[in-house]
Amino acid sequence: MTTEIPSDLVPFVQRMLAERRFLNEKDVLAEGLRMLQARETLREEVKKGFDELDADRGLPAEEVYARAEERIRHIENGER
């Protein structure tokens, strides 16, 4: 698959490369896609939570926060 970086984002990508945060454009794009994937996964998890609340199957706040923190760690580590 070939893709083109939108012209308004080219300076940002160039800065990331100049700062040696990434080795090439492909790595920048891959990281962006990983972040998008993580955001969508989080969106799905939030929807599940609201569905549970709507069905009167709520959990104690402490348990919810503990699960959320664990899930965030997994996402940050690139795990599913």
> What pLDDT sits at residue 8?
97
pTM for this model (two decimals): 0.64
Tell me, yes or no, whether 4 lies in a domain. Answer: no
Q: Domain residues for 17? A: 10-76
Mean pLDDT of 1-9: 92
Burial of 22 (0-12, 13-18, 19+ CB in 10 A): middle
Burial of 4 (0-12, 13-18, 19+ CB in 10 A): exposed
Tell me, yes or no, whether 71 lies in a domain. Answer: yes
Share of the chain above pLDDT 70, in %: 99
Question: How many structural domains are present in the chain?
Answer: 1
CA nearest to 6, candidates 23, 24, 25: 25
